[in-house]
Amino acid sequence: METKTGERKPDWIRVRLPAGNEWERVDHILASHGLHTVCDEARCPNKGECWGCGTATFMIMGEVCTRGCRFCAVSAAPEGRPLRADEPEALASAIQEMGLSYAVITSVDRDDLEDRGAGHFAACIRSIRAKNPRVKIEVLTPDYVDQEMRLVAAAKPHVLAHNVETVRRLQGVRDARASFEKSLKTLVQAREFGISITKSSILLGLGETREELRETYAELRSAGVDILVMGQYLQPTPKEIPVVEYIHPDRFSLYAQDARAAGFSTVVASPFARTSYHAFDAWKAGKR
C-alpha cells in the first residue's frame, strides 16, 4: 500500500497474523452463534492480538451498513438485513462461553430502521446483563440523539463510545449524514442521560495538524468525553481513501501528551490503537 505521496509502509506498521488455539476457539464460538465482529468486517489490524487473548468486539444488526464512509471497508447498501430477533440472546450466550469480563458491542449504521437500531442495542445490553451480571459492557454506537440515545442510556451500559473519526476540516471523509456537531451532540447527551463514562476516537494520518488535534481535544473535553483513542488510519482496500501520512510512534507520544494535558482521564495512542483496543484497561483507568 502506498500513500498519495508514494510513501510506503514504514517498519513500525506490522501486523501479527491470527494464530493459536485461543484464536480458533473464539472463531468457533462466534460462528456457532452466527455472530459478526468488527475485527473481521472492518479488517482491524489487532485481530490476532485480541482474539489470541480471547476478546472480540461484536458487531450487531448485520454486516451491511447504510452509510458509506470513505475510510471504512464494511459493506454498504441503502438497506441492511432484517434484524435477528434472537441476536441479543445469541450474543449473551457467546459472551458467557468466552468467559469475558468486559464486552464491547458495536454496530453498522441502520438509517433504514425507524429507531436506527437503538432499541435493538438496548435489548442486547439487557440480555448480556441478564446472563452475565458481572460483565462490564461498552457500546460503540452510531450518532444516536434524543429518543435513540434515551433508549440506549436506559439500558445502562458502563461506557458509551462514539467516534468523531477526524478533525473538523476533514469530516468529508465520513458519510454526508454524519458531522462533527452531531457526534458532539451524541456524546453530550450520553452524559446528560446518565452514562458515566464516554469515549471517542480519532484516526491519524488523514492530513490533520497538531493544532487541529488540540482544538478537537478541547471540544471533546467540553462534551464531557473521558477516554480518547488515537490510531493510524490504514487503507483497508484499494477502494478506500489512501493514507496521507504515516505518523511516527514518537509523534503519537507527543499527541498523547497534548491530549492528557487537555484533561482526558485516559489516552490510548499508538499506530494500531482502535476504539475498543485494550478497552477493559481503558475503562479501569477511566474509573480512577
Binding-site residue set: 39, 44, 50, 65, 69, 72, 276
CA distance 211 to 243: 20
CA distance 182 to 187: 9
Backbone angles phi, psi at 251, to 5 degrees: -70, -35
CB 106 within 8 A of CB 125: no
CA distance 274 to 271: 9
Q: Which residues are annotated as a binding site for [4Fe-4S] cluster?
A: 39, 44, 50, 65, 69, 72, 276
Written as nine digits, the cell of 234 is: 490504514
